[in-house]
Amino acid sequence: MRQMKVEEKEKEKKAKFQMNDHIDILIEVLKRLDGPSLGVAACVCRLWCTLTRSDSLWEHLCFRHVSSPPPSSVRPVVVALGGYKRLYMVCVRPVLSRLRNSDSELVWTRDEVQLSLSLFCVDYYERRLGGGATSASSLMFLCNPVNV
């Protein structure tokens, strides 16, 4: 009897503190995840999937390690070219995963931001013109690892 009461109390407590009832807090936690963990989060449940579809989370991820974030005028351009999730996947993630091997703390300056945005533009136009990332003349090779 006492065991049941304890279990019921635990269940009640659990029901009281459901993270999914507090979306703003859930977003605060998701904002602090890295890219792959955000991908895992998207597969947890429907609510999390919807939240991770929000481009603002990926925008935060793209420029989290930047010393001074790009101006807000960049946003409509990125959205028009395919959105922050695509920017992360195509331009930011490949570079970050290579730099991760170094021990120093990662901080991007304006130069790295501008390079990734430029490559993003290149990616968009190559897709539009039908060149594709696989063609030999694509500039997107700059995002791929190089065997030196």
Residues making contact with other proteins (CB under 8 A): 14, 17-20, 22, 24-25, 28-46, 49, 89
Q: Which of 109, 122, 130 is nearest to 143 (CA)?
A: 122
Q: In terms of CB distance, is 97 or 135 closer to other proteins? A: 97
Which of 57/70 has CB closer to other proteins?
A: 57
User: What's the min distance (Å) between Cβ of 23 and other proteins?
Assistant: 12
Cβ(124)–Cβ(81) under 8 Å? yes
Give the shortest CB-34-to-other proteins separation in angstroms.
Answer: 6
Contacts of 130 (CB under 8 A, 6+ apart): none
Minimum Å distance from CB 114 to other proteins?
25
| 32/22 Cα distance (integer angstroms) | 16
Burial class (CB in 10 A: 0-12, 13-18, 19+), 58: buried
Least distance to other proteins from the beta carbon of 49, Å?
A: 6
Q: Which CB, 41 or 91, lies closer to other proteins?
A: 41
Q: Which helix (H) or strand (E) holds 6?
A: helix 2-16
Closer CB to other proteins, residue 31 or residue 98?
Answer: 31
Q: Which is nearer to other proteins, 33 or 74 (CB)?
A: 33
Half-sphere exposure for 13 (CA within 13 Å, toward CB): 6
* Nearest distance from C-beta of residue 88 to other proteins, angstroms: 11
